[in-house]
Amino acid sequence: MRFAFYGRVSTEDQQDPEASRNWQKARAQTLIEGDIVTEHFDIGQSRSIPWKRRPEANHLLNALKDPDRGFDAVVIGEPQRAFYGNQYGLTFPVFVHYGVQLWVPEVGGQVDPESEAHDLVMSVFGGMSKGERNRIKIRVRSAMAAQAKVEGRFLGGRPPYGYRIVDAGPHPNPAKAADGKRLHKLEPHPETAPIVQRIFTEYLDGRGLFAIAEALTNDRIKSPSAHDRARNQHRSGIAWSKGAVRTILANPRYTGRQVWNKQRKDEVLLDVEDVALGHATKMRWNDPGSWVWSASVVQEPLIDTDTFERARTTLAGGGRTRKTRERNRVRRTYVLRSLMYCGVCARRMQGHWNHDAPYYRCRFPYEYALANKVDHPRNVYLAEHEVLPVVDHWLTTLFTPGRLDTTVRALYKSQTDSTPNPSTTEATRVVAECDTKLARYRAALEAGADPKMIATWTSQIQTQKAEALARVPAIPSQPQRMAEEEIREFLGTLGDIHTALDEAVADDKSAVYQRLGLKLTYQPDTRIVQAAVNIDTRPHSHGPRARSGHKNNPTEIPWGYGTCPEGDLNPHAR
């Protein structure tokens, strides 16, 4: 028989992906009678993510539909890694439908779809997988809470503005210390610590958030995102914002105590009407009463506790005496959410409900200090109903038979060159050399070398490796180029875009725009909207599925590829 192998390793497992793949495949190989002809191995995907949202698992599901798939069965080395909770019950019927066998070691071979015992065993392993993940979460959170409260240990993450991370000695765990792991702590940054103290002083003296931001920008003091560009590449850093000032005033770590559990990760259903899509992780703020404070001061404080409490009380009252302010949130539907950009500052425009209709606005001067003389209108407004009809018409004409040749050529020419970036190549080389040296140090340690000397060497190499890895994410990866015929063939799977956009409800239409990679840039001076499509064939591993058609009869919209710029769209010139 011909087999396809499936395995998975996540970043939560703290395992070497190649080593994990090898032992899972070896376990699968000893079970089967035949050859493994193809492999699907997900790296960095949590077990809680459903198969359709794991890139390699989704490829495998799609391969099942192909009569010329090239394999007769699928073998899994460890079912706990493949199935979580009720995923087996949602996935195995697909195998049965397409006549593909599933083999796992825990049942001694092929899973019999008619066997209640096999069904029970696989369901139990799914439950065990879910229980194991939950137990790990509980243990880790309990340990981190104790380390923060009792030891005041710095538990990682970016340092607050005003502090920097410094070495705090070897790790207390001997095994981790032998691997070069070090503890870290916070110490005042010589350049930014006085700025934090200035912010608290001026705020308690009666100066407002915006006035403080304006003064800091006017004095040419770098904002937090401009000061630490490596950790804030997603922000412009053009000026201080009142939001940055507010965040500093609300951060209790400036009192010298370690504070943990300010935020939590909640798993929220992507679609309450389709539970099989799984959950998405959302970061949410915890109530201050559940924050974990260190029992003692563990780092040099920038302000005293009384100063912080007075600032927090004033801030919570909106500058007045009341401590809380209630807001009733109403969920509005914005079809172009996250797709509309301001042509002046290049920031995403915010959805704003006005006169019972959706609008998009950019209030850059309201949020950021303008002492840097940025030429930006105080408010940039655009009505959604002025844009949607023109965008829909443009998209439908873009993929009509008469325009298809032009669209294909534009997509082909717009593809970026996939030639490796020299900086990426150099960083990859450094990482490989560091891994080689670390392997030698580990062998020397096992052979009886001095642990202190090995720990020193390992720490130096780990630092070099971290610096090299930090340079890699800043360089965007380039997709593989596609030929014109491949693009044309793929565009043929898009279906009738006109019908999809004409009949889709608001949420589904927004999902279609997301899948098409639509980006709209509004130029307020000329009142022109520029539109571009960036269609990507790579699988989408998060977020809701995109659907088209009527809400009662949705159809999947696949991915496209490349960037296809089009001329200006002027919603005011019909």
Task: Find the DSSP H helices in 257-331.
Answer: 305-316
Lowest mean pLDDT among 61-75, 97-111, 392-406, 520-534: 392-406
Half-sphere exposure of residue 31: CA atoms within 13 angstroms, side-chain side: 25
Query: Which has the closest alpha carbon to 170: 446, 462, 437, 442?
Result: 462
A 10 A CB-CB count for 378 gives 10
8 Å CB contact between 422 and 574: no
Residue 48 scores a pLDDT above 80: yes
Q: Dump pLDDT digits (tens) for 450-506.
A: 666 666 677 677 767 766 665 554 444 445 567 777 777 766 655 566 666 766 777
Residue 425 scores a pLDDT above 70: no
A 10 A CB-CB count for 308 gives 21
> For the chain, what percent of residues have pLDDT higher than 70?
78
CATH 1.10.3720.10 fits 2-134, yes or no: no
Residue 79 scores a pLDDT above 70: yes
Mean pLDDT (the chain) is 79
Residue-range domain boundaries for the chain: 2-134, 163-258+294-316, 334-417+479-574, 422-471
8 Å CB contact between 262 and 285: yes
Q: What is the pLDDT of residue 353?
A: 86
Torsion of CA 460, 465, 468, 470, to 10 degrees: -100
Cα dist from 496 to 395, 499, 502, 512, 546, whole Å: 11, 6, 10, 12, 15
A 10 A CB-CB count for 18 gives 10
Buried b (16+ CB within 10 A) or exposed e, 523-558: ebeeebbbbebbbeeeebeeebbbbbbeeeebeebe
> What is d(CA 352, CA 331) in angstroms, rounded to the nearest whole number?
11
- The SS3 of residue 259 is strand
The radius of gyration of the chain's CA atoms, rounded to the nearest angstrom, is 28
Phi, psi (5° rounding) for residue 284?
Answer: -135, 150
Residue 301 scores a pLDDT above 90: yes
Most confident region among 55-69, 166-180, 266-280, 378-392 by mean pLDDT: 55-69
Residue 109 scores a pLDDT above 50: yes
Q: What is the pLDDT of residue 14?
A: 61
8 Å CB contact between 228 and 191: no
Q: How confident is the model at residue 321 (pLDDT cuts 50, 70, 90)?
A: very low
Mean pLDDT of 73-96: 91
8 Å CB contact between 106 and 79: yes
Q: How confident is the model at residue 426 (pLDDT cuts 50, 70, 90)?
A: low
Mean pLDDT of 236-251: 87
Residue 283 scores a pLDDT above 50: yes
Phi, psi (5° rounding) for residue 411?
Answer: -65, -40
294: exposed, middle or buried (Cβ count in 10 Å: 0-12, 13-18, 19+): buried
Most confident region among 185-189, 281-285, 534-538 by mean pLDDT: 185-189
Number of residues assigned to the chain: 574
> What is d(CA 145, CA 122) in angstroms, rounded to the nearest whole number?
35
Tell me the angle at which helices 87-97 and 116-146 cross, rounded to the nearest 10 degrees. 140
8 Å CB contact between 164 and 187: yes
Q: What is the pLDDT of residue 545?
A: 38
Asked, colleague to colleague, whether 2-134 and 163-258+294-316 share their fold, the answer is no
Q: What is the pLDDT of residue 345?
A: 80
Mean pLDDT of 229-238: 75
Q: What is the pLDDT of residue 552?
A: 37
> What is d(CA 28, CA 45) in angstroms, rounded to the nearest whole number?
20
Residue 261 scores a pLDDT above 50: yes
Per the model's pLDDT, the better-predicted residue between 115 and 514 turns out to be 115
Phi, psi (5° rounding) for residue 568?
Answer: -65, 145
Q: What is the pLDDT of residue 41?
A: 93
8 Å CB contact between 244 and 160: no
Interior CA angle at 105 toward 104 and 110, to 5°?
A: 45
> What is d(CA 200, CA 197) in angstroms, rounded to the nearest whole number?
5
8 Å CB contact between 150 and 296: no
Q: What is the pLDDT of residue 249?
A: 94
8 Å CB contact between 498 and 467: no
CATH 3.90.1750.20 fits 163-258+294-316, yes or no: yes
